[in-house]
A and B are shown apart, each in its own frame.
Chain A
């Protein structure tokens, strides 16, 4: 089975993981100049504003890069396809590709968001786009 290390939310990303628990992929956006930022940051690099808001991602993305992750010391763990995605909103995001044979993975592959539970750890994941 897939073995997942649970995230340990901190002061700057707890809101994100709360969103995941509610099946929402939230992005951080500056409340002043509307600049999207990921990974999140307490201050906007564009205008230095501290105020920010969340924007639910559409869940549409394309594969920018990918690797197959095989666990070096636990051969019983299922391999995972790790993807670096270009989210439709314009930020890069690391996730996993599920429901996709390895030979179908390619740069630019359109994917869509799904939420998957791994033994109690809920993660935003992506599968090849069906629509």
Chain B
């Protein structure tokens, strides 16, 4: 008996374009290519798709994508707010749609030219979004600076240095090095390389702590587990999926909750994810954790209960997150090593692990946690 209706859903198809720094084509074309690949991977045709979900930030219009793919009728569509923090939320929306019967086969996509077009990592210019008056005039004009105000407290609370964060990057690049999809395929780094990269926000983030800026698109098809059994790919059930957003919290300027040494929304998401599913952190065979910056991996390792508060430094140092470790993390290289497709490529890797199709396969992976910080899902096999 599923813990909630959304647990009846399954991810039946995945697709992507190549990941690059200059795709040479429009964002709509990237969306269409990735979507068609996902539909074909699912063993479906465009005519089977009746739901569409993407990010509010995505520039591709639903009606134009329908015309590109040849989708005759869409019965459900929605978009998720707050960028990568809404990455796992797309799956919650899709699962809700198929569980309720609002749609049968929902296509989720995210595609952009985030390196050759609009770059998120560059300073915000004038004409800021609403609410930025409290930050932009004071110099908080890039995500690296904005997030570092909280990372600094986490480092202080548990005595971490930038070198500790570098150990995650080394693992991400090691995993990417054997993943032909990854931008950093066959380009591993050492901790010394990390420590030689330039400061972005001293003494917190170096260049190699920051995610890539990438061009590319990914897509997934969500249906019910019941329908998935008639489709060609190995079953990837959505064992559970949650979102958790707290009053006073913020996706970027998360400055107003009391204690910055913990990722509060991650803890509250984890409590519901495990409490409602009956599973625990120790049931997870691998984890794909959203990382716009390396410290977020550490805070999620603690938030999702893979180790205790302040223990992520040693957890990473002791090799637990590497292939062969107790909890391989971001086996495709993550957003630092593979590409930055706004966290959605991390979900694809979770699917590949459960299917047994990953290039860096975790043998016998039965449960994979995909974490977006303030939201998460557990993927499971049959």
Contacts and interface: CB of A to CB of B under 8 A. Distances in A.
Contact of A96 (B125, B138, B202): B138
A92 B136 CA distance: 16
B126 A68 contact: no
Contacts of A10: 130, 133
B123 A72 contact: yes
Given A45-B247, A72-B123, A67 B135 contact: no
Given A8-B128, A65-B152, A65-B153, A94 B247 contact: no
B139 A69 contact: yes
Given A5-B141, A45-B247, A73-B123, A92 B149 contact: no
Contacts of B142: 72
B312 to A, nearest CB: 19
A108 to B, nearest CB: 11
A7 interface: yes
A94 B135 contact: yes
Contact of A67 (B124, B128, B145, B247): B145
Interface string B96-125: 000000000000000000000000001111
A56 interface: no
A36 to B, nearest CB: 12
A95 B136 CA distance: 10
**Size range of the chain B interface in the assembly:** 35 or more
Nearest to A96: B138
A33 interface: no
A6 interface: yes
Contact of B149 (A6, A80, A82): A82
Interface residues of A, number: 34
Given A67-B148, A73-B123, A94-B134, A84 B255 contact: yes
B139 A92 contact: no
A95 B122 contact: no
A8 B204 contact: no
Interface in A1-57: 4-10, 13, 17, 38-39, 45
B201 interface: yes
B172 to A, nearest CB: 22
A56 B4 CA distance: 49
B133 A13 contact: yes
A65 B150 contact: yes
A45 B204 CA distance: 34
Interface of B: 122-128, 130-131, 133-142, 145, 148-150, 152-153, 156, 200-202, 204, 247, 253, 255-256, 260
Interface of A: 4-10, 13, 17, 38-39, 45, 64-73, 80, 82, 84, 91-96, 107, 121, 123
Given A5-B141, A7-B136, A65-B149, 5 more contacts: A7-B137, A10-B133, A45-B247, A70-B201, A73-B122
8 contacts: A5-B141, A6-B137, A64-B153, A69-B139, A72-B200, A82-B139, A92-B256, A123-B138
